[in-house]
Structure 1
Amino acid sequence: MLDDLESSKSCRDASDPSTLMPLAIAEATFRSDEEVSFVDPFALELMSTAPLRRLAGIGFLGAIDFMRQGSGRSAHRRRHNRLEHTLGVARLAETYAHEAGLPEKRRRLLLAAALLHDVGHGPLSHTLEPVFAEAYDLDHHSMTRRIVRGETRSGHDVYASLRDAKLDPDEVLAMIDGHHSGPDAFLFAGPINFDTMDGILRSRAFMKRRTAPRAMLAAVRHWAQTGRAPLSEFDAFWSLKHDVYTLLICGARGRLLDAVAQAYMRANIDEFEASDFERSEATLRKRHPKLFEVLGVVANQRISSLKDRLPSDWMKEEVMVKDRAFTVKAENGLYENNQLDARYTQSKFTRRISIEELIAGQ
């Protein structure tokens, strides 16, 4: 399947995750109730702040999380949350910094960016964000900036922790946004970055059970020690990223869950308020229980029967979807960090589609 990646493939249904590439990497993933230890007390201080703790109540995949009903400890039997993802990204950042022997300021900058990169996510993550953006001009990027700069009440402690660690909040934000000009910027800005590493591996683990060694941690150690990208591991990862988008994120059920959640919020926008973006999902569920009831219906019913279960006026509701293809340009045998975007490429195709079309297309 790795050889087939040279051909462009569009998103298809994820109804059978068993079609995943047989060599897929599925690493053990952090749980937010596990004891997590970082060498630097600065990291533990950031983790104790209210904005970081809130991430335990924010689902990682948004409405797609409702495809999973179980609550077991195994990664494929449960929903994941943004705090778990954050800890996974921070683990990769700390591993790289330690193995590369980075000085304290550079190490702390990487750790801060890892721990704070998702701190502004609202409930249901990316799912409801388009409607919050339309109605209140809010998204996780703008909220992250406000929190990191201490411009929200809950962000005061985050700002204070950065100040005590002698870190400039705007420099942390530049690293998060991929605009930093320092020697470690590629670790967040490049196609192979800490955020997408944990995100894709976590999504893969969510889809189906698979036991595999922690290959990506080993790859990061090699990357840090040698300064050269481990192409074999990264090629497999980029292929896995294609499959995760194809089978899960762009799958029919996932797209329909996102679309229906957005349709519900738009139809009931007078019952929402801007402050909902700063709530946990448990609090949002108390305020808007019918939204979560609808998600349960979409997650558990046959797609073909949903037209009769959903309000007829939602059928024409359109959502913006992105078809993505991730390709390994194997002929570009480049190991340098500033050359990886020539080897690992992606294509995006944006289009609008109605809920009725999403249902009819299955």
Structure 2
Amino acid sequence: MLDEMRRSQGDELSFSAFELMPLAAAEVTFRSDETVCFGDPFALELMSTAPLRRLAGIGFLGAIDFIRHGSGRSAHRRRHNRLEHTLGVARLAETYACEAGLSESRRRLLLAAALLHDVGHGPLSHTLEPVFAEAFDIDHHSMTRRIVRGETRSGRDVYTILRDADLDPDEVLAMIDGHHSGPDAFLFAGSINFDTLDGISRSRAFMEPRAAPRAMLRAVRQWAQTGRAPLSEFDAFWSLKHDVYSLLICGARGRLLDAVAQAYMRANIDEFEASDFERSEVTLRKRHRQLFEVLGLVAAQRVSLKDHLPSSWMKEEVTVKDRAFTVRTDKGFNEPEQLDARYTQSKFKRRISIEELIEGL
């Protein structure tokens, strides 16, 4: 199939998300009817690997996705997945690289990092990851490293494709992790980066019946053309990020959904295994149907949760992070190395019980 989809060198490769995501209705980045186009066969080769395709079955927001029933194609009516987010990040990376006139090696490095930055996520994304880390010493960072280095069976194709494209897998990982020393490292390591530009915009689309901000693609294009950050657009984005965290990711119901899912896994840990981290949510649901029934119960808001959840869970505490995102308008510089001084965040950890989370709804 890959050979049939390839075209001669220099032609543009395009594919519909429907061709790559059989498990989910497609919204590539901001709108469900868009087509993602890449000018390099290398991108399509990566997209055709099993680890990338698996991301179609991994929810973008984890348990928080269950706030939506998943009906309809509009951004606010459906659950998004990690593959859609990956495509959105890759589109930003490709746009920047082309507009900035980067060399093929620099462009491919950015594109590889974009396509692989989330490849190691497990089912329900960040929600179950703390328990997988406790029980099996595994998280999406370690799994991403194993896949990119070809240390898993499904990752061998990824490793081979990178090598064939003259890319060092460890250099790709350094870019993903924010440790790269090259001139484009800030595009993944800085406060304003491709990952969060798509992720926050996608989360905003999930919240209400309003299209997610499309200005981010234009802002990235301007950033690449001028070499200077468009501060007005990025200021608005940073304020949006504060709202998304306050109202959705760190909102009362979102935290409760995460906490209940983790409580279920801890209570049934003997029925889980490390290999579950490499499964899709469709497969996990078959093995742990009750987990998803509990999430549906919490999301439905139709019953008294204290009466329907195990009493032993009520006093179980989870760690939550309160975050605040601030624009330092006195820091007016727009060079890449100066943006972190303008866009700052504060994090505060605290412990809270599931009973307190329920009472806070």
Q: Same fold by TM (over 0.5)?
A: yes
Counterpart of 1:352 in structure 2 is 351
Supply the distance in 2 between the matched residues of 1:242 and 1:252 (Cα, whole angstroms): 15
Task: Confirm or deny: 8 A CA contact 1:324 1:348 kept in the other structure.
Answer: yes
Matched-pair contact (CA < 8 Å) for 1:317–1:355: yes
Shift of 1:71: 2.1
Q: Percent identity?
A: 87
Distance 1:133 1:211 in 2: 36
**Counterpart in 1 of 2:321?**
322
SS at match of 1:76: coil
SS in structure 1 of the partner of residue 59 of structure 2: coil
Distance 1:35 1:182 in 2: 31
2:218 match? 218
Matching residue's letter, 2:130: P
CA offset digits 1:111-150 (Å, max 9, x no partner): 0000000000000000000000000000000000000000
CA distance, structure 1, for counterparts of residue 211 and residue 31 of structure 2: 17
Gaps of 5+ in 2: 1-26
How far residue 218 of structure 1 moved from its aligned partner, in angstroms, is 0.7
Tell me which amino acid in the other structure corresponds to 1:328. Answer: V
In structure 2, distance between residues paired with 1:92 and 1:155: 24
CA contact (8 A) 2:148 2:173 kept: yes
Q: Answer yes or no: is the 8 Å Cα contact 2:201–2:213 preserved in 1.
A: no
Deviation at 1:36, TM superposition (A): 3.1
What is the CA-CA distance between 1:37 and the residue it aligns to?
A: 2.4
Alignment of 1:165-176 (within 5 A): 165-176=165-176
List per-residue Cα deviations over 1:54-86 (Å, max 9, x = no partner): 000000000000000132111111000000000
Per-residue displacement from partner, 1:284-319 (whole Å, max 9, x unpaired)?
00000000000000000258x211110000011111
Q: Which residue of 2 aligns with 1:331?
A: 330
1:72 and 2:60 equivalent?
A: no
Asked if the contact 1:322/1:351 (under 8 Å) is kept, the reply is: yes
Specify the alignment match of 1:266 in structure 2. 266
What's the CA shift for 1:214?
A: 2.0
Cα pair distance change 1:232/1:35, threshold 3 Å: closer
Matches within 5 A, 1:229-248: 229-248=229-248
Contact 1:66 1:295 in 2 (8 A): yes
Change (3 A) 1:263 1:160: same
- Over 3 Å counting, the alpha-carbon distance change for 1:53 and 1:245 in structure 2 is same
The answer on whether the counterparts of 1:31 and 1:84 sit within 8 Å (CA) in structure 2 is: no
Does the C-alpha gap of structure 1 residues 32 and 82 become closer, same or farther in structure 2, counting only changes over 3 Å? Answer: farther
Q: For 1:229 and 1:336, locate their aligned partners in 2 and report how far apart those are by CA, in whole Å.
A: 7
Cα contact 2:60–2:85 (8 A) shared by 1: yes
The answer to whether 1:140 aligns with 2:137 is: no
Unaligned stretches of 5+ residues in structure 1: 1-26
SS of 2:76's partner is helix
By relative contact order (CA 8 Å, sep 6+), the higher-ranking structure is 1
TM-score when normalising by structure 2: 0.90
SS at match of 1:77: coil
Q: Which residue of 2 aligns with 1:88?
A: 88
User: What TM-score, normalized by structure 1, do the two folds share?
Assistant: 0.90
Aligned to 2:312: 313
Which whole-Å CA distance do the structure 1 matches of 2:35 and 2:164 have between them? 25
Match of 1:149 in 2: 149
By how many angstroms is 1:212 displaced? 6.5
The number of residue pairs the alignment matches comes to: 335
Deviation, 1:260, is: 0.2
Q: Distance in 2 between matches of 1:234 and 1:300?
A: 35
CA distance in 2 between partners of 1:60 and 1:348 (Å): 22
